[in-house]
Each structure stands twice: as structure tokens, then as C-alpha cells.
Structure 1
């Protein structure tokens, strides 16, 4: 299985000092790691950079994407349609969790333990991050989802419920969604937060006034503060 895992292209923002923590930031559908980094840099000055945290922006491999009638797109997983109600495409989700697991492994080899890592993303990237953290790497410090949602019967919900019932830890969740995003998408995002919170996750949800399906400076400032709270410079 490990031999079949493909290596992702990625770019990264290196810490200005000693590397003791890592953030993996996953782009939305059709974007790239470089595209997301450039967007973040446009939104927040200085960019999302830290003295001790390496910020990694992987790029999803191009795959046929059903909502685009099978056209190739850089998406983390396939889905039948952009809806809360359809079944998840578990084959592509599980395959990408394995592929992204290799990125986590690289950080482990660099000396960063999982409790000093955060996984997050924008839109589809946030949903991918939730699957990766809740199902495969629940020992990371936290997970964040910006303008994201999970399907109603997501296997990620079940994974959190099972871990909490067994007395096992789950990562803390940070979620943001713009109030001017498609009303249904904001509702789906808030429902995702609500279900995960009821399942036992420590979870925060921020509605960003006037924000469409995009990043904003207030949102990124909130995210930066949350990351620093979870991954302080002199952390354990």
C-alpha cells in the first residue's frame, strides 16, 4: 500500500527560527498549494508565517471530478454532487488520507511530534482536513475548516463519536464561515460544527460578517491567534 502512495507537490513557508511545530493547509477544489499561499499572502500581511512553525501547502493531484462531468481538476476527493445529502466517495477520501499521511510522516521525520501539528483547509480542503484529523490522525493538536462542511452522515462524525465513547482524545476544531457565502453552505458549515461539538469535540465556530466564499483578513487573524494558542513557541 505504501509503495502506491503518490508524492504530492507542495510549497512551504519556513519558520524564521527553530522548527518545532507544523501546519498543513489544504486548498479548495481546483486550486493549488501555491495558489492558496499566494491568496493568503494577499489577505494577511505579513503572510501566515511564524518563528517556530512550518506552514505547508500541498497540491491535490488532478483527478476526474464528477461535478465537472468528469473533467480533470485538482481536488482532494470526488463526490457525486456538492450536497450534504449524497453519500461520501470513500474510496477517493481514504486514498487521499494515505497520500496526505506521507506529508505528516515527513514532519515527524523532521522531529515534529503530532501533538505539535495542526491540519486545516479552505472549502473542500477543510472537509479533507476533517477526515484526515478525525479518522486517521486524532492525536494532532487541532484541525480547522474555513468555509467547509461535511455530509450529513459523514464517517468522520462516526469516528469522533466512537473515540469519545471509548475515552480517547480527539483534536480541537476551529471553524469559520462567511455570512454572505451561499446561505445553504453557511448552514451546512454550522451544522457540521454542531454535530462534531455534540459528538464530543471542543469546537469553535466564527461567522464572519459580510464574507463570501473566500478568505478575509479578520478570519486569518483569528486563525493565526488560534494556531499560536495551540502551538506556542515554548510548547511541550
Structure 2
């Protein structure tokens, strides 16, 4: 099996849970690793996995080759994307989930997370996975495959945390609101929080993420 290359941050004791966290367009798995100590998860033994997206041409950036989970054709509010590539990326995340299960982590203790483009893949990957996961966390993103995703019944009750910047100049906050409504239409309840920021993360958000992860993984 060829897995995506990943940066992994191990807990001080043997891992009993895992968070697979996808970066945004043009970034890398190194982007969110510095947040791990800030989360201050106490005694929770969580392995953080930060996969690196493959490099590919991106249409909205004049065909420039960069790390990307999928190609984006237009930046209008409906965002036309390469759906085949997003499905391929979601399958690559399924493979990483399967590997965590093989390493002894129960599916119910695996959380999928993603920022921006990585969040769009996270929606597809988590909701279509055939075993019940521990949670889905999306940051500053949109639900790109809402019309086509086949939500597996195992993840219908999935805990979902959606967060967005009120002043996001890359992915307008209305797309975060829309994602929550699209989830609701599929009978999936999401917690939604906004922050006075642009397309980024902030400390109040990190504290909320810490609390949400702790709640999901303390059960």
C-alpha cells in the first residue's frame, strides 16, 4: 500500500486515539503541527497525523504546480472543482484511517480534520467512511461534494465541529454557514463557531478545538 507522506506527532505514551489533519492549498502537513502543544490535551494520548497533499497544476493559480488535494477551476461562490481528484484524495485519507486501525486505534477514536481545501476533502472522507469515526472537524472551508457524497449510515451520528473566520477573504463565511445547513439536510448536526479573523486560525478557536477534541475522545 502506498500511503500519503505524513508528518506524525506522537504522544508521550502509547497512542490510543488519532487525529488526521489536512492542510490547505499550497501548504504542507507541517502547517498545523505547531498547534499540537497549544491544544494542551492533558492525559489524552493522541497521535496527530498531518498528510502532505500531492503536487498538481491548479487552474485558479494559472496552472502553477503546488500541493493541492484537488484542482479548483473557478473561485466563484459555487467553486467548480475536479471532483474525481477530491474523491481520490478522500480515498487516500480512508487508507490512512485503515492504517490507524491496523496500528491498534479504534475507528471510534479517529478524528478527521481539515483546513480550507483540506476541509472539503475531510467532509467527503469522514462522511463516506464505512465505520463509525470519532468526529469531523472542518476549518474555514466548504462542503464541495454535498450533492454527491454517499453518507454512510455508520457516520450519520458523527460529531461535527465547523469553524470559520467572520472576515475570511478566501472562503467567505457564508460557505461555512451553508455547509452546516447542507449537513442538517442530511440529518447531521454540526456545532458552528465563528471568530473575528481572516483565512487563518486564532487562539480562541484553538481553545475551542481543544475542548471539542477532549469531549470527543474522553468518552
Matched residues, number: 219
Tell whether the 8 Å contact from 1:15 to 1:53 is kept in structure 2 after alignment.
yes
Change (3 A) 1:47 1:33: farther
Q: 2:20 & 2:171 partners in 1: Cα distance?
A: 27
Q: 1:143 & 1:213 partners in 2: Cα distance?
A: 19
The correspondence for 1:92, drawn from 85, 89, 99, is: 85
Q: Which residue of 2 aligns with 1:178?
A: 165
Query: Structure 1 residue 146 and structure 2 residue 139: aligned?
Result: yes
Q: Which residue of 2 aligns with 1:118?
A: 111
The correspondence for 2:194, drawn from 196, 207, 210, is: 207
Q: Which residue of 2 aligns with 1:79?
A: 72
Query: Structure 1 residue 228 and structure 2 residue 214: aligned?
Result: yes
After TM superposition, the score normalised by the length of structure 1 is: 0.83
Q: Which residue of 1 aligns with 2:51?
A: 58
Q: Partner of 1:212: helix, strand, or coil? A: coil
Q: 2:87 & 2:178 partners in 1: Cα distance?
A: 23
Deviations 1:157-186 (A, max 9, x none): xx34xx56xx97342210111112139710
**Offset, 1:89:** 1.8
Q: 1:50 & 1:106 partners in 2: Cα distance?
A: 23
Tell whether the 8 Å contact from 1:149 to 1:185 is kept in structure 2 after alignment.
no
After TM superposition, the score normalised by the length of structure 2 is: 0.89
Deviations 1:5-58 (A, max 9, x none): x432211111122311100010010000013323x26xx636678631111111
Q: Partner of 2:71: helix, strand, or coil? A: coil
Query: Structure 1 residue 22 and structure 2 residue 18: aligned?
Result: yes
The correspondence for 1:194, drawn from 181, 186, 191, is: 181
Q: Partner of 1:64: helix, strand, or coil? A: strand
**Further displaced range: 109-118 or 183-192:** 183-192
Q: 2:202 & 2:80 partners in 1: Cα distance?
A: 31
The correspondence for 1:219, drawn from 205, 208, 213, is: 205
Q: 2:49 & 2:170 partners in 1: Cα distance?
A: 31
- The answer to which structure has the higher helix fraction is 1
